[in-house]
Amino acid sequence: MPFAFSMAFQPIVNTATGAVFAYEALVRGPAGEGAASVLGAVDETNRYAFDQQCRVKAIELAGRGAPGSARLSINFMPNAVYEPRACIRLTLATAERVGFAPERIIFEFTENEKIETAHLLNIVRTYKDIGFATAIDDFGAGHAGLTLLARFQPDIVKLDMDLVRDIDTDRAKRIMVRHMLAMLSDLGILTICEGVETMGELAVLRDLGVELIQGYVLARPAFEQFETPRFAA
């Protein structure tokens, strides 16, 4: 790799039990610098190597420090995957090397990235066949939206933080999120609400039946650490 990087980890909490459901791996500079300091150096010439090494770094750190049965959520770049089974070999080898069970890994992608739908579906279906969980990140803000969901149902959908922001004072957002939750439940998909920053937002989401929460109200990303969130069920 032409540049160094590491990871911070932010918990996704089951607010019904207080347990950590998963930790999302977030790119940081080698001394904890923001993601932009790293992602700005990624282009088509190094995207594949960067995507591969992100997986390795996240799994290595999780193998040393992730507590209990908490899962690991890894963001991947669909445009960096040329053939799913070939590109997953290093991930599987790393998980075996550090003793991190592959079934604890979630691969999430954002629908904000423009990509050929057929290629994306081939990736996520292959990952599900192997045994990984899959997640759509930032749902509700991207290009594909419901069209993608109609063709492929992932294990998890993460609602875009713009739908969560000020939901305690925004009636339209409450109505939209309530109907999204019902739809996802009918499809058998777990919902995570991310970007939750206030107790008011948290209270409304819990009233709507959301259990899986990620956001500053519970814990900020911790550089190379797996922190216990500030929450009591």
Q: Are 204 and 217 in contact (CB under 8 A)?
A: no
Of the listed ranges 26-30, 103-107, 123-127, 205-209, the one predicted with least confidence: 123-127
pLDDT tens digit sequence for 43-58: 889 999 999 999 999 9
Q: Measure the CA–CA gap between 87 and 18, rounded to whole angstroms.
A: 35
100: left (phi over 0), alpha (psi -120 to 50) or beta: beta
The contacts of residue 141 (CB under 8 Å, 6+ apart) are 111, 112, 160, 162
> Which residue is it, tokens 């992100």?
54
pLDDT tens digit sequence for 93-121: 999 999 999 999 999 987 666 667 888 88
Sequence letter at residue 73: S
**What is the structure's pLDDT at 187?**
95
Spatial CA neighbour of 1 closest among 71, 47, 49, 57:
49
**Domains of the chain in sequence order:** 6-152+216-223 (3.20.20.450)
Q: Are 29 and 38 in contact (CB under 8 A)?
A: yes
**What is the structure's pLDDT at 55?**
95
Q: Is the pLDDT of residue 155 over 90?
A: yes
Q: Are 135 and 108 in contact (CB under 8 A)?
A: yes
Q: Is the pLDDT of residue 230 over 80?
A: no
| φ, ψ (nearest 5 deg) of residue 98 | -100, 0
The contacts of residue 212 (CB under 8 Å, 6+ apart) are 12, 13, 14, 15, 21, 190, 191, 192, 193
219/115: higher pLDDT: 219
Mean pLDDT of 18-45: 93
CA distances from 24 to 170, 177, 215 (A): 28, 22, 11
**What is the structure's pLDDT at 113?**
60
Residue 158 — very low, low, confident or very high, per pLDDT cuts 50/70/90? very high
Of the listed ranges 35-49, 73-87, 129-143, 216-230, the one predicted with least confidence: 129-143
Residues found in the chain: 233
End-to-end CA gap in the chain: 43
Q: Is the pLDDT of residue 78 over 90?
A: no
**What is the structure's pLDDT at 141?**
67
